[in-house]
């Protein structure tokens, strides 16, 4: 049995820099286009979701947001997706982790740090 040679630690950073970056995801993302209302401080904005996971959300809006900005947002999850008798309103807290322009809209990625279901 032959052992494969162990990688040279001195070359590891250079080799890693030349490899394409791979995005690591913690949860499955669901492509959903839902209206979203988000706020930060006293400002309130409308947006449309592009995808949602248990730990994050990607949405589009007309305004750019600052990285690290704490945001609150609410969205109505359709009953057909959740398998519930009626739609469920979810209030979330998170923070902006990425913001980039895409054609005429800004795409914003945010974490979902906390969430709660609204009583209906």
What residue spans define the domains of the chain? 27-117
Whole-structure pTM value: 0.74
d(CA 8, CA 97) in angstroms, rounded, equals 34
Task: Count other Cβ atoms within 10 Å, centred on residue 83.
Answer: 6
The CATH class of 27-117 is mainly beta
Task: Count other Cβ atoms within 10 Å, centred on residue 16.
Answer: 9
What's the pLDDT tens digit per position in 54-82?
899 999 999 999 999 999 999 999 898 88
Query: Residue 26's pLDDT is what?
Result: 63
Q: Are 69 and 95 in contact (CB under 8 A)?
A: yes
Query: Among candidates 104, 86, 93, 88, which has minimal Cα distance to 48?
Result: 104
What's the pLDDT tens digit per position in 3-44?
444 444 444 444 444 555 445 556 788 899 999 999 998 999
Q: Are 50 and 59 in contact (CB under 8 A)?
A: yes
Three-state SS string over 14-82 comes to HHHHHCCCCCCCCCCCECCCCEEEEEECCEEEEEEEEEECCCEEEEEECCCCCCCCEEEEEEEECHHHH
């Amino acid at each position: 049995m032959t052992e494969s040679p162990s990688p040279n630690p001195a070359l590891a950073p250079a080799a890693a820099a030349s490899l394409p970056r791979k995005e690591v995801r913690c949860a499955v993302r669901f492509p959903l286009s839902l209206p979203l209302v988000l706020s930060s401080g006293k400002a309130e904005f409308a947006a449309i979701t592009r995808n949602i996971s248990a730990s994050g959300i990607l949405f589009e809006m007309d305004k750019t947001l600052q990285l690290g900005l704490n945001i609150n947002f609410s969205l109505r999850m359709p009953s057909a997706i959740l398998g519930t008798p009626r739609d469920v309103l979810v209030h979330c807290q998170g923070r902006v982790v990425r913001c980039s322009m895409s054609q005429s809209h800004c795409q914003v990625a945010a974490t979902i740090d906390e969430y709660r279901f609204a009583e209906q």
